[in-house]
A and B are shown apart, each in its own frame.
Chain A
Amino acid sequence: MNLNSEVLKKIVQKVADTRPDEIGCGDCFEQLDRFAELVLSGKPVRDAMPLVQDHLKRCKDCREEFEVLLSLLMSMN
Chain B
Amino acid sequence: MLQLHEKRDKSMNQRTNQQWLSDLRGPQQDQALTDLRAVLGRGLYFALVNRVPANKLEALVDDFAQDALLKILDNLETFRGESRFTTWAQKIAVRVAFTELRRQRWKDISLQDLLPQDAQGDFTPAILADPDQDPEGQVVKNAMIAITQRLIMEELTDRQRQAMLAIIVGGMPMEEVARRMNTNRNALYKLMHDARQRLKSSLAAEGLTPEEVLASFGEG
Contact surface of A with B, Cβ cutoff 8 Å:
1-16, 18, 20, 22, 24-27, 29, 31-34, 36-37, 59-61, 64-65, 68-69, 71-73, 75-76
Other-chain residue from A9, A16, A36 in contact with B83 (beta carbon distance below 8 A): A36
> How many residues of B are in contact with the other chain, CB < 8 A?
54
Please state if B164 and A11 are interface contacts (CB–CB under 8 Å): yes
* B185-202 to A contact mask, C-beta < 8 Å, 1/0: 110011001001101100
B83 contacts A65, C-beta separation under 8 Å: no
Q: Are B91 and A36 in contact (CB under 8 A)?
A: yes
One of B24-32, B66-74, B206-214 at the interface: B206-214
A30 to chain B, nearest CB (A): 8
Complex Cα–Cα for A3 and B121 (A): 7
Contact surface of B with A, Cβ cutoff 8 Å: 39, 42-43, 46-47, 82-84, 87-88, 90-91, 94-95, 98, 102, 118-124, 126, 141, 145, 148-149, 152-153, 164-165, 168-169, 173-175, 185-186, 189-190, 193, 196-197, 199-200, 203, 209-211, 213-214, 217, 219
Asked if residues A3 and B46 are in contact (CB atoms below 8 Å), the reply is no
Distance A70 CA – B198 CA, assembled complex (angstroms):
35
A59 vs B169: C-alpha distance when bound (angstroms): 14
Q: Is the CB of A8 within 8 A of B98?
A: no
Contact B174 A20 (CB under 8 A): no
Collect the chain A residues with CB atoms within 8 Å of residue B145's CB.
Answer: 5, 8
With both beta carbons as reference points, the residue of chain A lying nearest to B211 in the complex is identified as A16
Bound-complex Cα distance A40 to B208 (A): 43
Residues of B within 8 A of A65 (CB): 91, 94-95, 98
Q: Is the CB of A8 within 8 A of B149?
A: yes
When the two chains form their complex, are residues A13 and B214 in contact, meaning their CB atoms are under 8 A apart?
yes
B200 CB to nearest chain A CB (Å): 5
Q: Are A33 and B123 in contact (CB under 8 A)?
A: no
